[in-house]
A and B are shown apart, each in its own frame.
Chain A
Amino acid sequence: MGKPHDSSTMANKCLLILGASVLLYAGCQRRAPAAPSPVQEAGVVPDTNAWAPCVVVQSPGGVPFGTQMAAVQKLQRAGKMTWIRLNTRLDGAGREYHLEARRMGLKIFSIIALADLEQAGWEAAFDRLYATYPSDIWEIAGEISNADPNVNPATVTPDYYMAKFRDLYNYVKTRYPGVTLTSAPTYGTGNGGAAELEQFFKLGLLDMDVVVAMNVYSHPALSSYATVIDRYAARLAGKRIWVTETGSSNPENHIAWVQEFYPRLVNTLHPEMICWYALWGGTGPGGDNGFGLLDLVESGRPIERPLFKALAGES
């Protein structure tokens, strides 16, 4: 007579344990609510511990110049900006950004446009730009496979790039022994970046004492990079890796990008530095200021977006 009762008790216990297990699991998996928490609403600054102190700053000059550099100074004083990535041009445009950044004590990461290298000749272009712009690291070309005419008038293949880059590397090592070069960043959307990166490796990039640059704008790109980075893990040990551009085009996701994507970048690519694209994306053709930490810079009265406020220590 006792058996049905025992069986029922046991079944109840099992169901209780099952229920508890499911609740515990659900609790452990639960993510932060999408809506602002009461703590955030109370004015607490969001966590940006994963942030890396590097920001891409476009250099149109004019009214934006003062506004941009004031914002840069704000981030620098908050301890959130050590490196600034700046453009260079053969006509010397935007040199005031370099001079101001140097005066502020920032480290400068300069990018040389592929168009300028092709126009003047790679070694001659470097000579002229090196003499014009103060800089700590030189990135030799932007995304070589990016067909956006605002980035490149024409794309080049990894084979072409690496042949030119190797010649320039040898030239710079001889003529400017203390200079640090960075390879062209791979195009970090879709799956293209990883294939390009591996092609660079196969063509001898890891034989050079340079910084390996990557742009990473998507999870498929990061996941694909992981397979290449891990395959070459032994040879990459001791190499310097920079994520020279990352960011979200949705300002509402900027903070989440730092909180959730930056740690994944570090876990997967172990970069020495990660640069946010961008302080302000501009308003011209191709300008995509969804990425911008600031908006309406051209007006002289910029709007600080949430990530900027969080980095600057404002609620």
Chain B
Amino acid sequence: MKSAVALAALLCLFPHGAYADGRLNFRVDFNRTQVPGIHDDVGFSWGGVEVEVEKAFAKPKIVLSGFSLGLRRELFPAFTSFGQDRGVHRWDEGTYLMLRLYRRFDVTGDRSWSIGPSIALLYGVPGTTLDRTTGSTRSDGGFDYTHVFPMRNADVPKGLADTADIGTDSALFYPEVSLSIRKTLARGGISLEWLGGVRMIRFGIVDSGSQGAVFSERRMYIPSGGMRVGFRIF
């Protein structure tokens, strides 16, 4: 995380003249995985939306064509306390800050089509969005289950955690690598991107049953597919 912040700070020090353009991008994506347990596999899928501000360099810097900073939400409607209201979207469930670094290669002479890899670093609060359990009740009333959960590996600033009523150690930091194909329209004013990527999240897995219990950890490579649309804003 520290290295990502340092890299972002360095990028921000480049003179403005180096920027080719800046865009406001919106992304939607779908993610699906199957986490293998000893007794059962636990599968789940989820969607997310992102808003990001992208800055592209006039010429690649080191190996980068540009970078973006954004906010990711994995939609999670919930209840207020005591269920007085429902359908309330909670910011502290599935909300991430995102830094994305990318390289882009033009594939057509007019530069309207391009292809490029990117790596994004996400930091945020998964809440309960990535906790899953499958199980069954035994005849003796006991509960056999396989529980998978993200290994939360980062802290939330105390002031923010106190404000939001969440624990300080409830954050998740993970990378995503992706490859996208971009088409620009309206003289570059609008861009459309089709993208496929892989999120790398470490999960904890608990298999608990009458035969005993087993705990393990596994880094999951989670396929993600989606689309990004962008508008040049500067």
Contacts and interface: CB of A to CB of B under 8 A. Distances in A.
Given A21-B227, A223-B170, A237 B214 contact: yes
Contacts of A29: 47, 75
A44 B167 CA distance: 42
Interface residues of B toward A: which range? 35 or more
Interface stretch (A60-68, A88-96, A187-195): A187-195
A233 B132 contact: no
Contacts of B213: 234, 237-238
Interface in A221-239: 222-224, 226-228, 230-231, 233-234, 236-238
B75 A267 contact: no
Contact of A28 (B47, B93, B128): B47
Given A224-B167, A227-B169, A249 B133 contact: no
A247 B83 contact: yes
B165 A272 contact: no
Interface in B118-163: 127-128, 131-133, 135, 137, 141-143, 145, 147, 149-152
A175 B82 CA distance: 40
Contact of A227 (B81, B112, B152, B206): B152
B87 interface: yes
Interface in B64-85: 75, 77-85
Given A191-B165, A194-B167, A240-B142, A233 B81 contact: no
Interface residues of A toward B: which range? 35 or more
A10 B113 CA distance: 11
A248 B83 CA distance: 4
A34 B87 CA distance: 10
B80 A218 contact: yes
B166 A237 contact: no
Contact of B131 (A10, A31, A226, A231): A226
Interface string A262-276: 001011101110000
B116 interface: no
A227 B170 contact: yes
Nearest 7 CB-CB pairs, A to B? A248-B83, A237-B213, A234-B215, A218-B81, A191-B165, A249-B82, A272-B143
Interface of B: 28, 30, 47, 75, 77-87, 90, 92-93, 112, 127-128, 131-133, 135, 137, 141-143, 145, 147, 149-152, 164-167, 169-170, 183, 185, 192, 204, 206-208, 212-215, 227, 229
Given A22-B28, A237-B208, A270-B208, 13 more contacts: A219-B90, A223-B170, A224-B166, A226-B127, A227-B167, A231-B169, A234-B215, A237-B215, A253-B84, A256-B83, A264-B128, A270-B145, A272-B142
5 contacts: A191-B166, A191-B167, A219-B79, A220-B165, A270-B145
Interface of A: 7, 10-11, 14, 17-18, 21-22, 25, 28-29, 31, 34, 189-191, 194-195, 217-220, 222-224, 226-228, 230-231, 233-234, 236-238, 240, 247-250, 253-254, 256-257, 260-261, 264, 266-268, 270-272, 290
